[in-house]
Structure 1
Amino acid sequence: MTQHTRPLRHWFVALLIATGIAIPSGALAQGAGLGAAGELVDLDVLRVCADPSNMPFSDQSGKGFENKLAELVAAKTGRKSVAYTWYPMATGFVRNTLRSNHCDIIMGYAQGDELVQNTNAYYRSTYVMLFKKGAGLDDVMSIEDTKLAGKKIGVVAGTPPAANLAKVGYMRNVLPYPLMVDTRLAPSMADVMIKDLMKGTIDVAILWGPMAGYYANEINPDLAVVSLAKEKSGHMAYRITMGVRPSDQEWKRTLNKVIKENQPEINRILLEYHVPLMDENDKPITQ
């Protein structure tokens, strides 16, 4: 994402879709094939639309968990290889990649957005709150907790937790972090926020779970990570799917079969990146 607008990573794209930017020259994968019922899905290569600098999701070096999931999907659907259309996750991403037939799948997309056709969800995660253990916040489980009233809170501007903080009157204590940062040129917002937490610039960091889990483990695995899935006000948990073109019905069915038959392996990959997985009853999935 140009921060890369992170999640809900693609949820932000829905809000920013009014205009687009030109696709970089030479960035497009070549050789689209013809799938079932005239679907423009390559039968030999898994053509993925992805951000080139968006850890822990995707990375041009192949280190992100969506890169690993793409390799799994390619193997399970009989593709010989994976090829990428790299494009920053910003306004115009879907229109200039998937909708322009330059690729056939977006590996992670929030359920319910009309820009793509969603597969079944392959994971569900939530925004989380991070703080240092032993700093007087160990029993805090909600944004509404009065113990947060005098604390400096880091949150990404424009995300759902920011709305909850405003509702409980804590915005005067908020240090906002930018929604959009080009991480090809600057550190990830999650990396910056958690380092600020360690330095004492903020007392609490509120982030999308997959980013929080990954960067917290990189910087300080002993931080408290509290799920916000049960917040009374505001929706904090989201289902993440794979995104395909609305016309690609057979391709969607194929991917749904892959997800259903390989959920334990998918969970294993996600948990290796410390993604906080939640079931439909908001209980943690640990294996």
Structure 2
Amino acid sequence: MKWALALAALLTVQPAAARTLKVCADPNNLPFSNAKEEGFENRIVRIVAAELRADVEYVWWAQRRGNVRETLNAGLCDIIPGVGSSLDMLATTRPYYRSAYVAVVRDPALKGLSSFDDPRLARLKIGVQLIGDDGSNTPPAHALSRRGMIDNVRGFAVYGDYSQPLPQAPIVQAVASGEVDAAFVWGPTAAFFIRRSAVPLSYAVVSPLSDGPALPMAFDISMGMRRTDVPLRRELEAALERRAVEIRSVLVSYGVPLLDQP
């Protein structure tokens, strides 16, 4: 009788609820993420979630100023992938990759252009990424401005035309069309759209990797979480380390320019 009762008790035990990892990501931000989960950050999230034996639930939110406050810090999600490791408004894991700005060109005679001090820049039409509707400057924009290159520079919003399926493509397309002769673009973005270009383009990593101590051109990238989520941070770091080879393979498959981490 006792064994029958024990068996009945076992049969009525409910399976443990699956763990869910809530991820805030941009639904229209290739090569990083999109709602079809085609970006390399989507693939890395799947790898990490599998290591944690967790299901992924996305909270789609356009990557704009204030998105950390409005999403992660508001409790809508657990992590934001692909954030700068030095971002001070949240806690971050150890970096899982490091990349840099690059110079994109079409003309073979310009192949290898990489320095802001290259004398040819003064004679070229140059594209550069700007952040936000107020035209805040990226590091390359600051570097060009320091050298008096303003009239021959055209800004392209990082967020682009969000009604289009590839909002960040226009700056690389402008090089392909000859609208600009060269463009300084965040490396992962540049490499992705160069691969999609019908016109052969090339890029070179900006050199040196800083324009003085206060203006770096290379950045470490991490996953971000709330400062209070210390156990989650440790879990994510362990998962990123255990699956590092697989994650690097994803980055390479998307052509991300990878630098050694200091």
Check whether TM > 0.5: yes
1:167 to 138, 141, 146: 146
Aligned-pair CA distance for 1:107: 1.1
In the superposition, the TM-score normalised over structure 1's length comes to 0.78
CA distance in 2, matches of 1:230, 1:82: 39
Structure 1's unaligned 5+ residue stretches are 1-41, 282-287
1:63 is the counterpart of 2:38: yes
Aligned length: 237
- 1:254 equivalent in structure 2: 235
Contact 2:161 2:167 in 1 (8 A): no
1:142 is the counterpart of 2:115: yes
Aligned-pair CA distance for 1:170: 1.8
- 1:202 equivalent in structure 2: 180
Contact 2:102 2:114 in 1 (8 A): no
In structure 2, the residue corresponding to 1:278 is in which secondary structure? Answer: coil
- Counterparts in 2 of 1:29-68, with a 5 A limit? 44-68=19-43
Contact 1:141 1:226 in 2 (8 A): yes
CA distance in 1, matches of 2:180, 2:172: 9
1:235 is the counterpart of 2:209: no
Residues 166-225 of structure 1 show CA distances to partners (whole Å, capped at 9, x for unaligned) of 112222210111244352x13545311111111111000111111101111111484111
1:153 is the counterpart of 2:126: yes
Alpha carbons of structure 1 residues 106 and 202: separation in structure 2 relative to 1, 3 Å? same
Contact 1:143 1:231 in 2 (8 A): no
- 2:244 equivalent in structure 1: 263
Instruction: Please report the RMSD computed on the Cα atoms of aligned residues, expressed in angstroms.
Output: 1.8
Contact 1:120 1:241 in 2 (8 A): yes
Alpha carbons of structure 1 residues 277 and 229: separation in structure 2 relative to 1, 3 Å? farther
Contact 2:210 2:217 in 1 (8 A): no
Structure 2's unaligned 5+ residue stretches are 1-16, 131-136
CA distance in 2, matches of 1:153, 1:172: 10
In the superposition, the TM-score normalised over structure 2's length comes to 0.85
1:211 to 189, 209, 232: 189
Contact 2:105 2:182 in 1 (8 A): yes
In structure 2, the residue corresponding to 1:162 is in which secondary structure? Answer: helix
Alpha carbons of structure 1 residues 96 and 190: separation in structure 2 relative to 1, 3 Å? closer
CA distance in 2, matches of 1:90, 1:71: 24
Residues 109-151 of structure 1 show CA distances to partners (whole Å, capped at 9, x for unaligned) of 10111211000000000000000142x2124231210011100
Contact 1:133 1:222 in 2 (8 A): no
